Amino acid sequence: MKRLVPVLVVATILLIPTAAHAAAPADQDYVALGDSYSSGVGAPGQSGTCLRSPNAYPGLWDAANDPATYKSVACSGATTDDLRSSQLSALTAATDLVSVTIGGNDVGFAPTIITCTLVGDSACAAKVDESLEYLRDEMPAKFTATYAEIRAKAPNAKVVVLGYPILFDEAATSCGFAGMSIPKRKSINKGARELNAAIRAYAQAAGFTWSDVTDEFAGHGICGASPWLHGLTVLPPTNSFHPTANGYRYGYLPALNAALA
């Protein structure tokens, strides 16, 4: 079965206690984990195979707060399995702060968007709906294991799990060349909301801090008058459906700051 944007199935998970840590930013050791929404795809200054940018929200937070140490190991295309196999080595018992976005690639974010770009409204909706079985069968264990391993590697850290923006403005009648129809936008947005709800449930069950970015991005969806997200992009194509520089600075960064307040 193809991995597509999921529909929430709430599972009962035992709460893992969160370690209390109140270090000031100047004393903190900060590690950013996750996928392209944490590495900075869509922002200026991307480099390397992971497409990391100093203009992603972790780099912006580092520049504004000057923590004792900062390292981003977030990588474009990363799944929960990738995070567990290649990113956790950056964490130690001395890590004070961890931020992470993860889950979108597990459920096939890119294939879903590509499919919806090429097919009709009902086929797009069907592709989104197919994710229900995948979420039920696979994602509970993946989220639970990922968050448990983060806690084990960084037992003293405050861990902030950030969600994904709702991609599309649903009111605009036109979305440009090869743009999504309103029914497609609604289907994809529905999937994003339910993906966020699932991530929130498992993150909070793990004792982590959840940060929902949907309020920060409200009014700035693709097809709208003031988007903070790239639509379909030719050069570079990887920027497609990722935050712009404004999306990271005025969307994700305030969401992280709010979670740390």
Sheet strand arrangement including 69-72:
69-72, 29-34, 97-101, 158-162, 209-211
Q: What backbone phi and psi angles, to 5 degrees, belong to 157?
A: -90, 150
Catalytic residue among 53, 76, 99, 242: 242
Name which of 11, 37, 241, 2 is nearest 128 in CA terms.
2
Catalytic residue among 21, 36, 53, 131: 36
Name which of 171, 174, 216, 205 is nearest 189 in CA terms.
171
Omega cis (within 30) before 237? no
The SS3 assignment for 69 reads strand
Name which of 207, 128, 93 is nearest 161 in CA terms.
207
Q: Please report how many Cα atoms fall inside a 13 Å half-sphere around the Cα of residue 143, on the Cβ side.
A: 34
220 is catalytic: no
Q: What are 41's two structure tokens?
A: 């795809």
Name which of 100, 233, 219 is nearest 168 in CA terms.
219
- Name the DSSP letter for residue 88: G
The SS3 assignment for 33 reads strand
For residue 102, the surrounding DSSP H or E stretch is none
- Judging by beta carbons within 10 Å of its beta carbon (0-12, 13-18, 19+), is residue 141 exposed, middle or buried? exposed
242 is catalytic: yes
Active-site residue numbers?
36, 242
